[in-house]
Amino acid sequence: MAKLSILLYPSPIIRKKSAPVTAIDGELQRFIDDMVETMYAAPGMGLAAPQVGALRRVIVLDPSDDRTAHVPIALINPVLVAGEGQIVDEEGCLCIPDLNEPVSRFKHVTVKAYDRNEKEIVLEGADLLARILQHEIDHLDGVLFIDRLSTAKRLLLKRRLRKGAQRSSPS
């Protein structure tokens, strides 16, 4: 396994829509293993393929409280098929370090996807699991959690993030 590099905002790649996976083969299995290793090393609760520069519809997540248990979930071509209720909670992103903002999301979701064994599955999640699923599926469509904020808050943050990116880039 290999730890992958996580792209940072404002990388244009994280804003692109990902293509569906057409084959679950050995290469994809190794890529998923690398994503899982990267997620735990970050440390994060979820990771989407575009965050590591791959425009394919793959996410990995581990919503468990026990960060030593390591029970990752890999979803291929996930689709949010239902959502209900609303809850606002803090959210952050590995692509935008050191930023957490309150984001409104569905409280309960139903997601259809394929697992690593090419089996179609239906995953239902509430609260934190629902939030992680929505956040990572958004990444597959080039959507970041900051896009879910109010217009005024989003503009203010984007300006601040651009200034931060300019300061941290080599001269």
> Is 136 considered catalytic here?
yes
Interstrand relation of 120-126 and 46-48 (parallel, antiparallel or unpaired) = unpaired
From 37, 118, 120, 136, the catalytic residue: 136
Q: Which amino acid is at 142?
A: G
Q: Using CA atoms, how far apart are residues 55 and 9, in angstroms rounded to an integer? A: 16
Q: Quick one: which of 142, 127, 17, 18 has its CA closest to 83? A: 127
C-alpha 162, offset from chain centre: 21
CA 39/CA 106 separation, integer angstroms: 23
Residue showing tokens 């300061």: 167
Active centre residues (catalytic) = 136
